Homo-oligomer: A and B are copies of this chain.
């Protein structure tokens, strides 16, 4: 399949690039600062240009989402809005604008995260954003057939424990290889409206 991979240069995106290429897919990478195409999906105009450049695709895979982490009392309205724009509206725009670009039977796979269901201190804006993404995916699925949409909702990556482990005390980590497996299931399988919680 021809797959558009957004957020391709991050920790997850790099792992997805390898895993999807190893499955024989033709992966077109998108990043703000690196990749085959350079676009920032928080700007709808850039998302539109991205699709123009990419041409038709069979699947869109997103590993792109930025949210601020702060104690709840320090999170401002602007922080919550930044979380919404950085992870929710950006991915919704990818779906919205992609409806006419993705092939029949093709799929969107968005990134969410464990904080949708299991909170951590300083993670309220991230929880909010992930909850929004997952509910959107369940809702979009019933309106976009024959196209499909799922989300992958991982806990902290095992490979990121050194950097972020302290924020997830006593919580299990997940290997990037397992996360990539869930994306493959979404792309190559037939399910829609699913949240793959890992």
Contact = CB atoms under 8 A, between A and B. Distances in A.
Contact of A88 (B84, B96, B117): B84
Contact of A73 (B71, B134, B143): B143
Interface stretch (A18-26, A56-64, A74-82, A167-175): A74-82
A86 interface: no
A127 B135 contact: yes
Given A44-B77, A72-B143, A81-B89, A131 B135 contact: yes
* Copies of this chain present: 2
A136 interface: yes
A81 to B, nearest CB: 7
Interface string A105-132: 0000000000111011101101111111
Interface residues of A, number: 43
A191 to B, nearest CB: 15
Interface of A: 44, 71-73, 75-77, 80-81, 84, 88-89, 92-93, 96, 99, 115-117, 119-121, 123-124, 126-136, 138-144, 193
21 contacts: A71-B143, A72-B144, A73-B96, A73-B99, A75-B96, A76-B96, A77-B93, A80-B89, A81-B89, A88-B132, A92-B128, A119-B193, A124-B140, A127-B135, A127-B139, A128-B133, A128-B139, A130-B135, A131-B134, A131-B135, A132-B135
